[in-house]
Amino acid sequence: MVDISKQQDIFSRIRAMLVVTSDQASSKMQAQRCRDELEALCSTVGIQVGGWLYFPIREFNSATYLGKGQVEKLAFMAQESESNLVVFNNGISPRIQRNLEQVLDLCVVDRQEIILQIFANRATTREARLQVELAQLQYSLPRLKRKWANLSQQRGGVKGAKGSGEKQLELDKRQAQERITRLKKEIKEISKQRDVQRRNRLQKNMPNVAIVGYTNSGKSTFLNRIADSNVLSKDMLFATLDPTTRRVRLPNGENILLTDTVGFVSDLPHELVDAFRSTLEEAVLANALLIILDASREDLMQCWETTTQVLKSLGALEKPRLVLLNKMDLVTEENLFAVNAFVSTEPNCMEVSILEDKSMKTVLERIGALVFDNPFDIADATQEENT
């Protein structure tokens, strides 16, 4: 298992220059929001941020993505800020990654690699570790010829450090493919065990509500609050990787199951979506969704858009849902307009503060109305699961 304390010590010596381009953000204001989230992702793994740059992309350069002048500016700013890592907010191809590393003489990664590293650090159960390793291998396979190893294998992020010679670079494509095949088999076996658990829950004829939403919005906090649970709940990105299910008694005396799920994030790497599909299926197989949003975020609508996009890709967007606008105690006048606009367009929505509100009774009543106004059909659920 990865020694996270050693990794954090390594990452603390890495200083990153962040890059946001106009194909990710059409304005400087949007670019700043992208920068803020990318900086939060970097900070989650202990990487310091030396600065950031916003580049309009007028003509795509097939070799380096950026134009010649932009690459020169990036090199200059990275040197000025003593950065030894460049992080792109958007995904970049292995070929462009290799070319930029040669030109800049710096390690170049994208947002996806940062997210993969966060998941690697957060994984605690066997299933989560296997899923993350699979995602990392699938991501790294076309990048085995990079000048640097992947992010987790940086030798302190020292500028000019050549190939580290560590495990990832030593793996040839055949070995990586064999490991990917073995991991898929192991994950499939664990998924079968999860299916048995789901069927057992279905046989109890008890409705299941999946708690979904953007990462760090308060999903685990809600489950802990109403189910007297002890799920890890911290002010950090991706605190929860494994689904946790608890039985909750509603005010009307009925029992339901609440399942906490992994948080969403914009541009979630498809390798992670594929690897964690068995985990995300909790939302697909649930009778209803409890969507939790952080109302205090300036990019509230972007978080909502990301959440609906992920749910749509899973085929779960049309399920009955209740939306909780959480952290209302932290909402400022600046983003109150966005909150009011959202409430006016989402009919089944509540404004709450999970930590501050004295009672969650009204929320539980609304959840009860949601699931029992849409009767639970065990036959339909079993059929959906077997499809």
The string of DSSP letters for 238-273 reads T---S-EEEEEE-TTS-EEEEEE-PPB-TT--HHHH
- Give the pLDDT confidence score for residue 10 in this predicted structure: 56
- Give the pLDDT confidence score for residue 150 in this predicted structure: 58
Going from N- to C-terminal start, the domains of the chain cover: 4-122, 204-386
Query: Splitting the chain (387 residues) into consecutive groups of 10 residues, what average pLDDT does each group show?
Result: 46 87 85 90 91 92 93 96 94 93 93 88 81 88 71 42 47 81 90 72 76 89 81 56 82 90 75 67 84 92 89 89 95 90 92 89 93 55 38
* Cα separation, 231 vs 214, whole angstroms: 17
- Give the pLDDT confidence score for residue 5 in this predicted structure: 45
Residue with tokens 């390690």: 107
- Give the pLDDT confidence score for residue 176 in this predicted structure: 86
- Give the pLDDT confidence score for residue 86 in this predicted structure: 96
- Give the pLDDT confidence score for residue 120 in this predicted structure: 84
Domains 4-122 and 204-386 share a fold: yes
Fold observed for domain 4-122: Rossmann fold (3.40.50)
- Give the pLDDT confidence score for residue 358 in this predicted structure: 82
Per-residue b or e along 269-282, where b marks 16 or more CB atoms closer than 10 Å to that residue's CB = bebbeebbebbbbb
Between the alpha carbon of residue 152 and those of residues 119, 136, 199, 323, 334, the distances in Å are 12, 10, 38, 37, 38
- Phi, psi (5° rounding) for residue 125? -80, 165
- DSSP, residue by residue, 92-149: --HHHHHHHHHHH-SEEEEHHHHHHHHHHHH--SHHHHHHHHHHHHHHHGGGTT-SS-
Residue with tokens 């580290």: 164
User: pTM of this prediction?
Assistant: 0.74
- Give the pLDDT confidence score for residue 386 in this predicted structure: 38
Neighbours of 81 (CB within 10 A): 16
Query: Which CATH superfamily is 204-386 part of?
Result: P-loop containing nucleotide triphosphate hydrolases (3.40.50.300)
User: Which H helix or E strand runs over 308?
Assistant: helix 300-314
- Give the pLDDT confidence score for residue 115 in this predicted structure: 87
